[in-house]
């Protein structure tokens, strides 16, 4: 993906922290309970689609 971004003349993010700044899906600290995990997965999927 980075090669394609660069081929289009843009600078690609190169570290996890750079990608984390670009995403609308936030990382959850720790391990959520099962129902909360499902809710977060659905929320993330909706953001992608």
Question: What DSSP letter does each residue of 3-49 carry, written as one string?
Answer: HHHHHTT-PPP-SHHHHHHH-SSPPPSS---HHHHHHHHHHHHHHH-
What pLDDT, on the 0 to 100 scale, is given for residue 14?
85
For 20, the domain range is 2-48
What pLDDT is attached to residue 25? 87
pLDDT in tens, 2-47: 889 899 999 888 888 888 888 888 888 999 999 999 999 999 999 8
Q: Is the dihedral of CA 15, 21, 24, 25 positive or negative?
A: positive
pLDDT at 8: 94
Q: What local confidence, expressed as pLDDT, does residue 49 receive?
A: 83
Number of domains in the chain: 1
The pLDDT value given to residue 30: 93
């Amino acid at each position: 993906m980075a090669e394609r971004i660069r081929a289009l003349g843009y600078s690609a993010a190169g570290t996890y922290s750079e990608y984390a700044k670009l995403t609308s899906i936030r990382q959850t600290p720790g391990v959520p309970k099962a129902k909360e995990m499902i809710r977060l997965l659905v929320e993330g999927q909706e953001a992608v689609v």
